Amino acid sequence: MKKYRPLLIYAPLILVLDHLTKYWVLRNIPYGTSQDVIPHFFDLVHFRNRGVAFSLFSNHEQPLFLYLITGAALAALLYMYAKTKPGERRLQIPLALILGGALGNLVDRLIRGEVIDFLYFHWYDRVVHFEVFGRKISFLLAWPAFNVADSAITCGALFLACKMLFFEPKERPN
Query: Which residues are annotated as catalytic?
Result: 117, 150
Q: Taking Cα atoms as reference points, which of 143, 112, 104, 139 lies closest to residue 49?
A: 112
Cα distances (angstroms) measured from residue 68 to each of 52, 64, 73, 143, 165: 12, 6, 9, 27, 30
Beta bridge partners of 121: 42
Q: Give the orientation angle of helix 5-28 with respect to helix 89-112, to 10 degrees.
A: 40
The answer to whether the beta carbons of residues 7 and 95 sit under 8 Å apart is yes
Q: What b/e readout covers 14-48, taking b as 16+ CB neighbours within 10 angstroms?
A: bbebbbebbeebeeebeeeebeeeeeeeebbbbbb
Q: How far apart are CA 129 and CA 120, in angstroms?
A: 21
